[in-house]
Amino acid sequence: MIGGRRPLPGRKPADRRVRVERPHSPYFRYTGPGQMVAKEAASRAPTPAGRALARARAVVFGRPLANEEEIGERLAKRKALAIFSSDAISSSAYATEEILKVLIIAAGAGALAYSVGVSVAIAVLLAVVSLSYRQVCRAYPSGGGAYVVARENLSQLLGLVAAAALLIDYVMTVAVSTASAIEQIQSVIPQVYDIRIEIAFLSISLITIGNLRGLRESGNIFAIPTYLFVGLALLMIGVGVLHIVTGTVVPIDQTDVYSPPATETLTLFLLLKAFAGGSVALTGVEAIANGVPAFKPPESRNAANTLTVMSLLLGILFVGITVVSRAYNVLPTEPGGPSVVALVAQSVFGASSWFVPAFAVATALILFLAANTSFNAFPRLAAILAEDGFMPRQFSFRGDRLAYSWGIVVLAAVAFGLLAAFGGDTHALIPLYSVGVFVCFTLSQIGMVRHWIGVHGPGWHWRAAVNAFGAALTAIVFVVVVSVKFVDGAYLVVILVPLLVGMMLFIRHQYAASSTELAVRPDFVSGEPRREERVVVPVPGINRSVVQAVNVGRSISDDVRAVYISDDQDRAASMREQWERQMPGVPLVLVESPYRALVGPLLAYLDVLDRAWPPDREDPITFVVIPEYVARHWWERILYNQSAKRLRTALLGRPHTVVVNAPYRREDPSSFEPAAAGSGPATDPTQPPSAG
């Protein structure tokens, strides 16, 4: 009979039919002979509490997505631009200030006039780096950016150096950009200072949740602030340039101008320092090359075009803000004062204009969102490293929403930890910031030079030349950045990068060692098991769970013995009598434990068994079958199985030992009646050998 279903009547007596149940159907779908695909219901939590948790997760993070929905999660160029460019574009909010802060030292020597030139030089560097990364997008469509380029063309070690530098940089980006966004708010509402850690936590948590909801949704959430900033900044530059062209510029009066110890000479080093300072604008440019697979097909082309648009926008914003700031003679203020970009907004539109607060909000938002680029790039890089065995494998697993959840959560935790440790003041971290990125730029461009030389494709000469030029430029910037910021904290990068590289090499070594140990030779064919087996069942008395555990043991091997550990001689004697009567054929070993210990004597007994085994025979496999009572409710778990848990922990990793749990459910069909009814001693059914 099938499911006990009675045949259904048809039009004629011979037309009866039977409906066949399809028990697999809610959970699986057959796709080929012996092959099934699990449906969403198969992953559903079996308990009400688990289902409630899953519902709560679905509200916060969205419903789980299947693998085939991955393509729907891919990013169109507009959303990708918002996600991957927020870091780079946000740097236009402070890069000009970085240049001016250096050049103001030699303001008397007319150094400030060079700010536009320096910004143009940085824009040229940006163009070269972008051109190079466009080529990386096309040559390495699987993503990975500098790490993959260096790994493929230079060496594994240099790849890891690039990866380590980038990972550090991404963490820094989250910490630093969150802190500077809070500073932006603080310059308008000073009271914010007291709750800056809470704001940081909230902001990082929101970005984390947004990213855990998956790429597409985080694109939806984060696109608006990015485009708002870009739109307002372009408007500001446009109006500013119009004023310059029409000659209606009215330079502003500043009172709290930043005044570091001044010199009267303009040196090349000072210009280089300004160049290095402004080069923070380039951080985040590499993010797109890391995330090529996140784009809709054709991935490489879309990524390369998005990169171009991003670089153009960044270049226009950065040079534009610098040009307008010079025209209005905007100078950096003392710490705590308004930022250069805010002053530019005030100069162009007037301090009372609606534009000024709107632009301040947009700037704060884009600075918060600069962290979002890291939230996309860090997990992807970590996943590629994990696939290569340099990071724990969990980093390459995708969560319910196809996002690399581990990378996202780890990044959030480390970045917030840094922020909290520094009390929300990340000035100490800033020197570390942007050092790593230039290591990557340099390594990836040298790698690309070797790539073109190796490939010898059409136009390889000029491609290699562009990359070589870029490599030389970024190497110079790297040297300048490190020498300028070394004492301030860049030395930490010199310590952290080797540490991270060492850690990654160690992880790889561990994985390699374990896979060698676990490897099965291709010519190996598994034969019949040849090792002898014996079973030890620790028993707390006689009850149904014990009987079931002994029977499980009997199904494994004929060599079964029960072990009863007790501190009471009389009880032991009565147990022996009852055991022999009710469990004939299964030897019982009584172990007296005057110190009331349970686990120790059992382990010692197992050791003795091992020693007693004839040395000329291969060690047997010892199955320790532990009777367990299945709790129906969560609170019952506190009442039962505590000794079983201790025993299991103690046996974990013991050589030649397999621990078997024999769970007894109250609902199990009873095969004990009437033999076991009321016959066992009044023991806790799940207390395996208990001495008391």
Partner 1 sequence: MTAVPEPSSHAVRRVVIAVNGGPSDERIVRIACELARPTKAELVAVHVVEIGWSLPLDADVAARSEDAQRVLDIVEGTAEKERMKAETVLLQARDVGAAIVDEASERGADLLVVGLPYRKRFGGDFAIGRTVPYILKNAPCAVMVIREPMTGESSP
Binding site for partner 1 (CB under 8 A): 1-3, 5, 7-8, 10-12, 14-22, 24-25, 29-34
The least distance separating partner 1 from the CB of residue 65, rounded to whole angstroms, comes to 14
Kindly give the pairing relationship between strand 28-32 and strand 35-38: antiparallel
Select 32 or 458, whichever has its Cβ closest to partner 1. 32
User: Looking at beta carbons only, is 14 or 59 nearer to partner 1?
Assistant: 14
Q: What Rg do the C-alpha atoms of the chain give, in angstroms?
A: 35
Q: Least CB distance from residue 447 to partner 1, whole Å?
A: 42
Residue ranges of the alpha helices (H) in 140-188?
A: 145-153, 156-188
The residues near 382 (Cβ < 8 Å, ≥ 6 apart) are 167, 391, 395, 404, 406, 407, 410
Q: How far apart are CA 361 and CA 483, in angstroms?
A: 35
Question: By C-beta, is 33 or 653 nearer to partner 1?
Answer: 33
H/E run at residue 563 = strand 560-566
H runs (alpha helix) in 350-459: 355-387, 405-421, 435-455
Q: How far is the CB of 73 from partner 1 (least distance, A)?
A: 17
As measured in angstroms, the least distance from the Cβ of 63 to partner 1 is: 15
CB 217 to partner 1: min, Å: 20
CB of 294 to partner 1, least distance (A): 24
User: Which residue, 18 or 224, has its beta carbon nearer to partner 1?
Assistant: 18
Query: How far is residue 464's CA from residue 132's CA, in Å, rounded to a whole number?
Result: 9
Query: Cβ 337 to partner 1, closest distance in Å?
Result: 57
Distance CA 445, CA 174 (A): 25
Q: In DSSP terms, which residues pair with 162 in a beta bridge?
A: none
Nearer to partner 1, 23 or 669 (CB): 23
Instruction: Map tokens 């100490």 to a residue.
Output: 428
Greatest alpha-carbon span in the chain: 111
Q: Looking at beta carbons only, is 1 or 59 nearer to partner 1?
A: 1
CB atoms within 10 A of CB 56: 10
* Cβ distance to partner 1 smaller for residue 22 or 456: 22
**Which residue, among 556, 533, 552, has the nearest Cα to 627 in the 3D structure?**
552
Give 19 or 596: the residue with its C-beta nearer to partner 1.
19
Nearest to 269 by CA among 55, 483, 49, 585: 483
Q: Which two tokens stand for residue 325?
A: 């700031």
Cα separations in angstroms, 225 against 198, 368, 375: 21, 10, 16
| Shortest reach from residue 64's CB to partner 1, in Å | 16
Min dist CB 37 to partner 1, Å, is 9
Query: How far, in Å, CA of 656 to CA of 397, rounded?
Result: 32
Instruction: Identify which of residues 35 and 516 has a Cβ nearer to partner 1 in the complex.
Output: 35
The phi-psi region of residue 4 (left if phi > 0; otherwise alpha if psi is between -120 and 50; otherwise beta) is left
Nearer to partner 1, 39 or 554 (CB): 39
What does the block give as tokens for 478?
């790297």
Both tokens assigned to 356: 């000024």
Min CB(41)–partner 1 separation in Å: 13
Report which secondary-structure segment, H or E, holds 657.
Answer: strand 657-664
Could you tell me which residues are beta bridge partners of residue 589?
A: 563
- Of 13 and 585, the one with the shorter C-beta distance to partner 1 is 13
Question: Nearest distance from residue 66's CB to partner 1, in Å?
Answer: 10
